[in-house]
Amino acid sequence: MLDIHFIRENAALIKAGAAKKHMDADIDGLLAVDDERKRLRQELDAKRAEQNRRSNEIQIAKGAEREKIIEAMQHLKNGMAESEERLKNVMLEWQRLMLTVPNIPDMSVPDGADDTDNVEIKKWGEPTAFDFAPKDHIEIMTALDIADFERGAKVAGFRGYFLKGDGVLLANAVWQLALKHFSAKGLSPMSVPSLVRREAFLGTGYLPQGEDDLYKTQDGEYLAGTAEVATMAYYMNETIDLSKHPVQFLSFSPCFRREAGAHGKDVRGLIRVHEFFKWEQVVLCRAEHDESVRVHEWLNRNTEEFIELLRIPYHTVTNCGGDLGLGQVKKYDIELWVPGENTYREISSASYFHDFQTRRLNIRYRDAEGNLKFAHSLNSTAIPTPRILVSIIENYQQADGTIKVPEALVPYVGKSVIGEAGR
């Protein structure tokens, strides 16, 4: 959420930012409602002052004069009740419009309507070459009996899956290597809830716009699609200490996404599933743009280094305006080479928000002068499973149908080859 004073003083800039993000935001409507909000508050303040004045007069008035003041007080009370009701309704509209105002993208964000307009800024490794006809991960995993997609759909429905045997070992190996790698960067591990209250989703910007992609319980909670939601809400309505260093979490949780609007996309395999697991990097730092930029680059590089440990070809792109979310100032995506599709597919996103999320969640700190400020927030995928298995298996497949285990994962898997030849 942006500050209303900032919105009023920079209306043209915010409109331009919304246009760059290809989002609708009624800034003029919001400012008109804000004018009415301020007018009603002033009106109520004047009536409360009048009420206090009349109350003092009643103390000394007598007889008919006192009755006259009491009658006037009743009219004043009725008028205040009407004004309070109007203000309540105006505030609801004001809050609704405030929640729709997008953050302003950084000047370095490229123009574009969707992910096809994202700009490659780095490429690491060359697409894997094979001297045999390669298979996709579905065929390989099914043949090795390390995944069952047919029974997954039978039990869990569309996009359901079972990991089995060495498929489970491989996924757990990724988790363990990620814990070691990202913890060594100074991130503090934390296991966080997936079942989260609505306030946390509003605070992080996933609601109200993204409700169609969330699973909701009968009790009003939601299942989160990322550990970012619970981690950011950890310090909701608190003042934190940033005097020595940023708050840096490495959060793990199950994740759930309905994939609304993704009908017909990636309907097979492990690319796009409803239930998965993810390590997430989340940072709260001082409210300084340069600090956010530095941490953003650092978070993204942490994941690049992890992918390089696995020696999987990847490229990094800067997301265009139309591929940014409501609160994001800038975002990078890391995309891994998927031989079965002959293309790169997203594995990680790194974003910074300035104080957009912390203002909604009321997370503040005291600067060197003792002034309260809203912190800046950032997050980046460390690594998700099972999606990462797609690139591991397809890039490391061998001619005999087995899978070579990436060297960095061998200590955790306990073998160097998955399949008959490796047993």
Do residues 187 and 248 lie in contact, with contact meaning Cβ atoms separated by under 8 Å? Answer: yes
Q: Is 40 helix (H, G, I), strand (E, B) or coil?
A: helix
Query: Has residue 344 got a pLDDT over 70?
Result: yes
E strands, 82-149, where?
A: 119-124, 147-148
Of 258, 272, 301, 366, which residue is the catalytic one?
272
Give the Cα separation of 247 and 150 in Å (integer). 43
Of 301, 341, 346, 366, which residue is the catalytic one?
346
Helical pair 11-20 and 27-60, crossing angle rounded to 10 deg: 140
Considering only CA atoms, which of 343, 351, 295, 345 is closest in space to residue 323? 351
Give the Cα separation of 339 and 343 in Å (integer). 7
79-116 confidence digits (pLDDT tens): 788 888 999 999 999 999 999 999 999 999 999 999 99
As a whole number, mean pLDDT of residues 313-319 equals: 98
Query: Has residue 422 got a pLDDT over 50?
Result: no
How far is the CA of 335 from the CAs of 117, 225, 343, 372, 383, in angstroms?
Answer: 14, 19, 9, 39, 12
Ramachandran angles phi, psi of 383, nearest 5°: -165, 140
- Looking at residue 46, what is its pLDDT? 85
- Looking at residue 168, what is its pLDDT? 98
Mean of the per-residue pLDDT values for the chain? 93
As a whole number, mean pLDDT of residues 30-59 equals: 83
Does the active-site annotation cover 346?
yes
Q: Give the confidence band of 129 by pLDDT, cuts at 50, 70, 90.
A: very high
Do residues 361 and 301 lie in contact, with contact meaning Cβ atoms separated by under 8 Å? Answer: no
- Looking at residue 240, what is its pLDDT? 98
Query: Has residue 298 got a pLDDT over 80?
Result: yes
Do residues 21 and 33 lie in contact, with contact meaning Cβ atoms separated by under 8 Å? Answer: no
Higher pLDDT, 260 or 240: 240
DSSP 354: T
Radius of gyration of the chain (CA): 27
Q: Is 186 helix (H, G, I), strand (E, B) or coil?
A: coil
- Looking at residue 423, what is its pLDDT? 45
Does the active-site annotation cover 387?
yes
Of 359, 360, 387, 394, which residue is the catalytic one?
387
Do residues 50 and 20 lie in contact, with contact meaning Cβ atoms separated by under 8 Å? Answer: no
Q: How far is CA 244 from the centre of its chain?
A: 26
As a whole number, mean pLDDT of residues 334-356 equals: 97
Q: Model-level pTM?
A: 0.92
Residue showing tokens 């094979």: 130
List, as one string, the DSSP characters of 295-346: HHHHHHHHHHHHHHHHT--EEEEEPPGGG--SS-SEEEEEEEEETTTTEEEE
Of 159, 228, 257, 286, which residue is the catalytic one?
257
- Looking at residue 265, what is its pLDDT? 65
Collect all residues with Cβ–Cβ distance below 8 Å to 346 and sequence separation of at least 6. Answer: 333, 334, 335
- Looking at residue 68, what is its pLDDT? 75
As a whole number, mean pLDDT of residues 151-158 equals: 94
- 41-50, 238-247, 314-323, 327-336: which range is least confident on average? 41-50
- Can you list the domains of the chain with their CATH numbers? 4-98 (1.10.287.40), 115-422 (3.30.930.10)
Tokens of 289: 């743009």
Query: Has residue 18 got a pLDDT over 80?
Result: yes
Give the Cα separation of 101 and 26 in Å (integer). 8
Do residues 359 and 374 lie in contact, with contact meaning Cβ atoms separated by under 8 Å? Answer: yes
Q: How many CA atoms lie within 13 A of 6 on its CB side?
A: 13
E strands, 17-135, where?
A: 119-124
Max mean pLDDT range (53-67, 199-213, 252-266, 274-288): 274-288
Angle at 342 between CA 340 and CA 344, to 5 degrees: 105
Does the active-site annotation cover 272?
yes
Give the Cα separation of 100 and 7 in Å (integer). 12
Q: How many CA atoms lie within 13 A of 289 on its CB side?
A: 6
45-62 confidence digits (pLDDT tens): 887 787 777 676 666 676
Do residues 302 and 250 lie in contact, with contact meaning Cβ atoms separated by under 8 Å? Answer: no
Q: Give the confidence band of 74 by pLDDT, cuts at 50, 70, 90.
A: confident
In the chain, the percentage of residues whose pLDDT exceeds 70 is 94
Give the Cα separation of 230 and 251 in Å (integer). 9
Higher pLDDT, 409 or 53: 409
Of 251, 253, 348, 349, which residue is the catalytic one?
349
Higher pLDDT, 357 or 63: 357
